[in-house]
Amino acid sequence: MVGPVGSVDRVILGGPFESAGQADEIADVDDDHDEIVPRIPKDGSWVAPTDVERELLEHLRGENIPAYLRLIAAVGGYQPVPLARTHRSPARRLPLTTELPDGRTVTRLYTQDVLPRPHPHVVYEYVTLRSLADVLGSEVDVLAINPETPCELYLPVDDAERARWRRAHDACFAPDFTNHRLITRHGGTEDTDLLHGLACGAHLCFTNGDAWNTLDWHGSGYSAEVQRLDQWWGVQHRQDWVELQNRLLHCDVSTSDWDFVLSLRNFLADSDGPRVDPQRWRERVDTTIRGNIAAHIPGADTEPGESPDVDALSATLRDLVGKILRYEARFRADELLPPDGYVRTVAAWDLGRASKMARWGRGARYASAQEMYCALELTAREARSRYESWQEFSAGYVLGRCLHFDEEAFGDWYTEVLLSHRVLLTERDSPWLTVPFR
């Protein structure tokens, strides 16, 4: 091991590079700051943000460096890289380095929840211990893991050490290490509206193993966040993110037909009570859709048998009634809904994703901090306007996820979110037990 790396006053940026092409996408706001690396209190008040850092600290105190490395190998880490000098491939990045007084060069690696707030010109890229072993060459002398924290470790970068990193990675790397866990970060935001907006994304945080209460979002690393938005959402530019975020906040990404059908049952339930007759519900769906088409398209053939397209649309929406009823029956059996409970709206499916989209956009540098805050506050406001409790919100989210992905298989798309529902309603540190819905 080697001594501390010191300050980052002398940062080495030199060398040829290939631009990631994202610099022009940064939100044009006053979002600059000087927290390129984490600021660690010098008065001894630092507290490990999550279990990962607590375990690292325990291994250090027990002088169990192999166990320390095994944990780093399992979870990986994050390197600071100038935005203009990053790349999807770790081998083509030029991470920030620090020069020690004796001339040695240090590169830094941090665990996820030690990271500072996102910077407009320096990003953090996820990297495995094996990748570091493969890409760090003779130009780097020291690897500093969580430097200046109580769980810091400094390792020489030489052939023997790189071989040890590769062995640890091959034995321990676990890309899903934190998945399906409730993680609450020590020192997260205390703002009530922001916490509520963050808590709306708790299903996804639990599934992906992300701390639910952090605004300092780096996700899976800058390049992975950009790739996530492109691959799953078709978001390639800042304007794409803005439009999608607004659509999610207005609950019109994937829930409109579902909520149309549910709204008709809500209308009938006001007069008939919660046990609405399914056939009466289907008939109301049929007459309403035909009436809406006639009102908006003068001269349209809307009587049964006159238009194959109208008949097909009506049949699809009437079939949706049966699908919803079958899901709700399973929900009651699994105590996701009370015995007489039903789902009034699936708006939570879009709002839960809006909560995470605000953070994903921040991680990809499509959103400013202020835009992320605003989106989270709007998410909270919309959730409160549509639901009465976290349990009701969760049921709406689960139904939306199932209608989107599950196809009545009751497979992983259902069982995984059912697990998150149960944990979030019972575990002590859950946002749904610590953040009032109202």
- pLDDT tens per residue, range 381-420: 999 999 999 999 999 999 999 999 999 999 999 999 999 9
pLDDT at position 254:
86
Evaluate whether 147 touches 154 at the Cβ level (below 8 Å).
yes
CA-based radius of gyration for the chain: 25
d(CA 397, CA 404): 11
Per-residue model confidence as pLDDT tens digits over 56-77: 999 999 999 999 999 999 999 9
3-state SS assignment for residue 425: coil
Measured in residues, the chain has a length of 438
pLDDT in tens, 367-382: 999 999 999 999 999 9
* pLDDT surpassing 50 at residue 11: no
DSSP-based helix, strand, coil % in the chain, nearest 5: 50, 10, 40
Distances (CA, A) of 356 to 98, 188, 380, 418, 419: 34, 16, 12, 19, 19
Give the pLDDT of residue 51: 95
pLDDT tier for residue 34 given thresholds of 50, 70 and 90: confident
Q: What is the pLDDT of residue 44?
A: 87
- Report yes or no: 310 and 290 within 8 Å, Cβ to Cβ: yes
CA 69 to chain centroid: 26
pLDDT band at 23 (very low <50, low <70, confident <90, very high): very low
More confident residue, 3 or 39: 39
Which residue pairs from 240-247 have beta carbons closer than 8 angstroms and sit at least 24 positions apart in sequence? Answer: 240/366, 241/357, 241/361, 241/364, 241/366, 241/367, 242/366, 244/357, 245/354, 245/357, 245/358, 245/361, 245/367, 245/375, 247/350
Task: Read off the pTM.
Answer: 0.90
The first and second tokens of residue 232, run together, are 């799953």
Token pair of 83 as six digits: 């935005």
SS3 of residue 122 by DSSP: strand
Q: What is the dihedral of CA 340, 346, 349, 350, to 10 degrees?
A: -160
Q: Which amino acid is at 88?
A: R
Q: Which of the four pLDDT bands, split at 50, 70 and 90, describes residue 24?
A: very low
**Which residues sit opposite 247 in a β-bridge?**
none
Judge whether residue 25 has pLDDT over 80. no
CA distance 36 to 116: 7
Q: What is the pLDDT of residue 5?
A: 45
Contacts of 185-191 spanning 24+ positions with Cβ under 8 A: 185/49, 185/50, 185/113, 185/211, 185/213, 185/214, 186/47, 186/48, 186/49, 186/50, 187/47, 187/49, 188/213, 188/214, 188/215, 189/213, 189/214, 189/215
The pLDDT tens digits for 98-133 are 998 899 999 999 999 999 999 999 999 999 999 999
- Which phi and psi angles does 109 have, rounded to 5°? -140, 130
Contacts of 237 by beta carbon, 8 Å cutoff, 6+ apart: 25, 366
Amino acid present at 96: L
State the pLDDT at residue 422. Answer: 98
Give the pLDDT confidence score for residue 190 in this predicted structure.
Answer: 83
Sorted by sequence, the CB contacts under 8 Å of residue 64 that are 6+ apart come out as none
Q: Which tens digit of pLDDT belongs to each residue from 232-274?
A: 999 999 999 999 999 999 999 988 899 999 999 999 999 888 8
295 versus 22: which is more confidently predicted?
A: 295
Q: Which residues pair with 99 in a beta bridge?
A: 105
Cα 392 to chain centroid, rounded: 21
Q: Where are the domains of the chain?
A: 11-172, 192-253+347-434, 256-333
What pLDDT does 390 receive?
98
Query: Please, which pLDDT band fits residue 28 given cuts at 50, 70 and 90?
Result: very low
Residue identified by tokens 């509520």 is 196
pLDDT of 83 higher than 50: yes
- CB contact burial 281-300 (16+ within 10 A = b; e otherwise): bbebbbebbbeebeeeeeee
- What is the amino acid identity at position 279? Q
d(CA 110, CA 48): 13
